Amino acid sequence: MDKDSLEQLKLGDQKLFSELVRDHHHALIALATPIVGRSEAEEVVQNAWVKAYKAIANFEGKSALRTWLSRIVINEAKMQLRSRKRELLFADMGDAHENHDALTDRFSDKGRWKHSPTNWHVDSPDALLMSSDLARCLERLLAEIPANQRAMLEMRDASGLPFDEICNELSISASNARVLLHRARAALFELVDRYQETGEC
């Protein structure tokens, strides 16, 4: 969003705010899902949009809009959990190291590539995950990976939140957070690589 549009948005331009909703709504629901569960994520995000609309005049541009919106959603999700006296959805999911790394089987016993990555025929990041077939597989994958991995992926890579902030929000150690993020990215890499190689996923 350019500077003039941002100023208009901060003055309460509803059309521009609608575009903001269009661009970020699904990403914010995806962010709230591993925290409160799919059934409550929409309600959390609806309430977060009301708060964002009221607070947009105070947006200082110190972070990206997606990051700013994500913080509002996370606060709203945590309020929802507190009001229902619930824990984080994945609080009892155990140690990050217990889960499987999707790329493990690609290496020989000596740690060399047994099945190396294929050459992806996409150069632009925004085009990489946009094919409708891949999008369906991606949705399925995100629903299948452990909630703590998904939370890391959504918070760090999709929302751009700083690593330290995520560790605080989720009350996890930096080393656990790194493992979770690596596992989530490995699962996504495996999916995209298979799709690029075979056209299926």
Partner 1 sequence: MLSCREVVQDADQLLAGELTWQRRMSLQMHVLMCHHCRRYIKQLRLLIRGIPFMHAKASDDEVDQVMAHICSGDNSEH
Beta carbon nearer to partner 1, 38 or 86: 38
Beta carbon nearer to partner 1, 86 or 115: 115
Most distant CA pair in the chain, distance: 60
Structure tokens of 143?
A: 């629903």
Shortest Å distance, C-beta 113 to partner 1? 5
CA torsion through residues 125, 131, 133, 135, sign: positive
Structure tokens of 31?
A: 């962010």
Q: What are phi and psi of 193, to 5 degrees?
A: -65, -45
Number of neighbouring beta carbons within 10 Å of residue 64? 12
Shortest Å distance, C-beta 199 to partner 1? 17
Beta carbon nearer to partner 1, 89 or 142: 142
How distant is the alpha carbon of residue 88 from its chain centre?
Answer: 16
- Residue ranges binding partner 1 (CB under 8 A): 14, 17-18, 21-23, 25-27, 30, 46, 49-50, 53, 66, 103, 107, 110-113, 116-117, 119-120, 122-123, 125-130, 135, 138, 153, 157-160, 163, 178, 181-182, 185-186, 188-189, 192-193
Beta carbon nearer to partner 1, 87 or 121: 121
